[in-house]
Amino acid sequence: MVLWYATRATGVVALVLMTATVVLGVAGTARFAAPGLPRVVSAGLHRNLSLLVVGFVSLHVLTTVADSFTSIGLSSAFIPFNSDYRRLWLGLGTIAFDLLLAVTLTSLLRDRLSLRAWRAVHWVAYACWPIALWHGLGTGTDSKLSWLLALDALCVAAVAAAVCWRLSLSPAGPGRAVVLAGMALLTAATVIFVFAGPLQPGWSRRAGTPPPTFSRAASAGPRSEGR
Amino acid sequence: MPEPRPHHAALAERNRLLTQTRTLTFGIAGGAALASLALGTAFAHALPGHSYHPSAAKAAPVAARSSSPAAQPARHARSGRRRAARAGRAHEHVRRHHAIAPPTHAPAPAPSSSPPQVTSGGT
């Protein structure tokens, strides 16, 4: 029981830290510097927070695997769509974890890689954030909780604001329009998904909870249906 | 010979910035750890009833015979835990005596697999 709550808590904290990392990364690309936050400090924070994210996500994975309520193997932490428990939504989390590991490893080996290769992997890492957000919304049906929904909305708003600010500094062109349209589409799709999916009754079953786990959750307590 | 003051100043500035980064990082890491604890507690309060014991689950059909827990979704989670504990005790009881209690009702007649016999009643 404790492990399951730890899984949820570390997952939420990891998402918030990842949001901060993305915002700092976006700010770093524009060489942002505030009076109390010089560029060296913001760049160092970006690097340290991303390592902290790896730590929290590792804890999140370990507590998930160790928890006996669902049978999620260690292989499911690395191989996407390998688990019977909410295959699609857990698979998204696996992809995000793999991307995060790729970025961390290439950043640690940055001296031995070409800047181009490192940057290519680092750009892919931006996909890690929305994938992790959708994993959290789809797998953790505790996202029905209003304060958790508010936290998710705050994360989306922070990243959207950072991207919009960054785009406002770049010259107008088709690239800017594409990124803006993509951002708007992603936000709209997330809102529609939340209202059509996790907020609807019976999401747990539709998300792919295996019948034995579902019946166990039902017998453990009426409010644990969302596990 | 004059001291290379700008070099010293740059080093001091670098150290100050590194210390600032480190302090901020430790502050955020500590805050994140505390937030994890607080969130775990909040989840435990907001979503109770996640305790699960394999023995209770095995005995669930025994308990379900008298009152189906899944069929009563309006009950509070605490009563669900109590039921699970009771079911666990019932399972222990059954295991200790190696016997199954006799059924209170006669089993329902099994549906016949053979087609119904039709007699014309005549020739």
Taking the C-alpha atoms of residue B4 and residue A217, their distance in angstroms, rounded to an integer, is 70
Q: Which residue of B has its CA nearest to A141?
A: B47
Within a domain: B29: yes
- Same-domain pairing of B80 and B65: yes
Asked if B77's CB is within 8 angstroms of A221's CB, the reply is: yes
What pTM value is reported for the model?
A: 0.72
Domain range for B42 is 7-47
Asked if B29's CB is within 8 angstroms of A227's CB, the reply is: no
Asked if B25's CB is within 8 angstroms of A49's CB, the reply is: yes
pLDDT digits (tens, 9 = 90+) for A59-94: 999 998 888 777 788 888 888 888 878 888 889 999
Within a domain: B23: yes
- Same-domain pairing of B17 and B42: yes
- Same-domain pairing of B14 and B25: yes
Taking the C-alpha atoms of residue B91 and residue B33, their distance in angstroms, rounded to an integer, is 40
Within a domain: B73: yes
Within a domain: B55: yes
Within a domain: B64: yes
Asked if A38's CB is within 8 angstroms of B17's CB, the reply is: yes
Which of A49, A152, A209, A219 to mutate: most B Cβ within 10 Å? A219
ipTM of this complex prediction, to 2 decimal places: 0.80
Q: How many domains does chain B have?
A: 2
pLDDT digits (tens, 9 = 90+) for B13-62: 888 889 999 999 999 999 999 999 998 888 888 776 554 444 444 444 43
| Rg (alpha carbons) of chain A, rounded to whole number | 19
Phi, psi of B81 (to 5 degrees): -65, -40
Among A136, A152, A129, A141, residue whose Cα is nearest residue A201: A141
Taking the C-alpha atoms of residue A124 and residue A115, their distance in angstroms, rounded to an integer, is 14
Q: For chain A, which residues make up each domain, given as ranges? A: 2-222
- Same-domain pairing of B53 and B86: yes
| Closest-CA distance of chain B to residue A72, Å | 16
- Same-domain pairing of B43 and B58: no
Taking the C-alpha atoms of residue A74 and residue B105, their distance in angstroms, rounded to an integer, is 47
- Same-domain pairing of B37 and B56: no
Within a domain: B109: no
